[in-house]
Amino acid sequence: MIVHTGGTATSASNGGIVRILGVDPGLRVTGFGVIDQCGQKLAYVGSGCIRSNEKESLPQRLGTIYAGLRELAEKYRPQQAAVEIVFVNVNSQSTLLLGQARGAGIAALVASGIEVAEYTALQVKQAVVGNGHADKTQVQHMVRRLLSLPGDPSPDAADALACAIAHAHGGQGLGALATRGLRMHKGRLA
């Protein structure tokens, strides 16, 4: 099931605009975020999550992720996608399941004809917050600030939007620009 938290599905095919779909893969919840990039300007298009039913079999859950991303590709028509790279957990079974969810997502994007880039969580956080070890609330707050959102997006949507933002800015350096003159204090910009 796809849960949208806002935005529209207008086309990005007008001059110089690149539409980017960010994906934060997960077996239970896969976050997505869509932005338009025109030069250095970024505009929020939409975000939300794809939820799989924990009572279904693994193949059915992977099918939900695949179908959900294919549906989003059709609806938003992004030219590029950015997907977070899986980190290694202490629990190898969790890492394997997350890798399978990520694979289903990448397969859906490639099957939709979308160029896919991959970034580690450290690269994404460095690009958006300026600190590769930022916590989720810091990422949410910076995504809100960078995209001029009325409120913090959900953690999964924020991570996906952050992935798209990092891709839009080459995966590095944005955090330093975005926070120039600002400083972090207890997880918030001061």
Which residue in 36, 71, 74, 84 is the catalytic one? 84
Residue 24 annotated as catalytic: yes
Tell me whether residue 84 is one of the annotated catalytic residues: yes
What pLDDT was estimated at residue 175?
A: 42
Q: Which pLDDT score, from 0 to 100, does residue 12 have?
A: 52
Active site residue 36: no
CA distance linking residue 47 with residue 163, whole number of Å: 12
Q: What is the pLDDT of residue 178?
A: 40
Q: What is the mean pLDDT of each run of 10 residues along the chain (190 residues)?
A: 59 76 96 96 97 97 98 98 85 91 97 96 92 91 96 95 95 42 43
Check: CB of residue 82 under 8 Å from CB of residue 164. Answer: yes
Q: Which structural domains are found in the chain, ordered by start?
A: 2-189 (3.30.420.10)
Give the angle subtended at the CA of 76 by the CAs of 98 and 132, to the nearest 5°: 45
